Structure 1
Amino acid sequence: MKQQITRLSPHQNGKVCGILTAATSFFVFVPFLLFISLFVPAAGRPPFITILLVPLFYLVMGYLAVLIGCALYNFMVKYIGGLEFDAKDEAN
């Protein structure tokens, strides 16, 4: 049976994606930036607080990007239809 997604929750989806991107950046970019800072002269290094703010930046930008994307989807679904997928009921 074909089904369409007629609405995406902007706040909930933005919250989930923002947290996931922040967690990813914390475990990927923070160690990378700390490692790279070992090889950069002290005058050229970013302040330590800047490195810690990277996950916060990703949280905010991830949230806003998904929020805008969901709102745009919800607006456009009236005119072009929603995402379509096939689903079937599983018998127990």
Structure 2
Amino acid sequence: MKYQITRLSPHQNGKVCGILTAATSFVVFVPFLLFISAYMPEDDRPPFLSILLVPLFYLVMGYIAVMVGCALYNVAVKYIGGVEYDAKEEGR
């Protein structure tokens, strides 16, 4: 069976992707920035608070980017059709 996705929820998808990118940046970038700042001269180090704000920035930007992408998809799907995929019931 072929199915088409006719609508993507901008808010829900934005929330999920924003939280996932924030969590990923917290695990990857915060330790990396803390490690790098330990070897920088004290005058050039970024403030500790700015390092902790990186995940917040990723959350907001990830949410906005996915929300805009979903809204554009919802407009385009009316004219060009949705993403199409095949599906089957398990055991058949």
Q: Distance in 2 between matches of 1:12 and 1:57?
A: 18
Task: Tell me how far apart the structure 2 counterparts of residues 38 and 89 of structure 1 sit (CA, whole Å).
Answer: 54
Which ranges in structure 1 are unaligned for 5 or more consecutive residues?
none
Shift of 1:38: 1.0
Give the structure 2 partner of residue 80 of structure 1.
80
Structure 2 spans left out of the alignment, 5+ residues = none
Q: Could you state the TM-score of these two structures normalised by the residue count of structure 1? A: 0.97
Aligned partner letter, 2:23: A
Q: How does 1:39-78 map to 2 (within 5 A)?
A: 39-78=39-78
Shift of 1:3: 0.4
SS at match of 1:89: coil
Structure 1 runs (4+) greater than 4 angstroms displaced: none
1:17-49 deviations in Å (ceiling 9; x for gaps): 000000000000000000000111011011000
Q: Aligned letter for 2:42?
A: A
Q: For 1:77 and 1:36, how far apart are their aligned partners in 2? A: 45
Could you state the TM-score of these two structures normalised by the residue count of structure 2? 0.97
Q: CA RMSD in A?
A: 1.0
Query: Within 2, Cα distance between the matches of 1:26 and 1:69?
Result: 24
Is residue 26 from structure 1 mapped to residue 19 from structure 2 by the alignment? Answer: no
How far the C-alpha of 1:5 sits from its partner, in A, is: 0.2
| C-alpha separation in 1, matches of 2:32 and 2:50 | 13
Give the paired residue count. 92
User: Quick one: distance in 1 between partners of 2:91 and 2:57?
Assistant: 45
SS of the residue corresponding to residue 79 of structure 1 reads helix
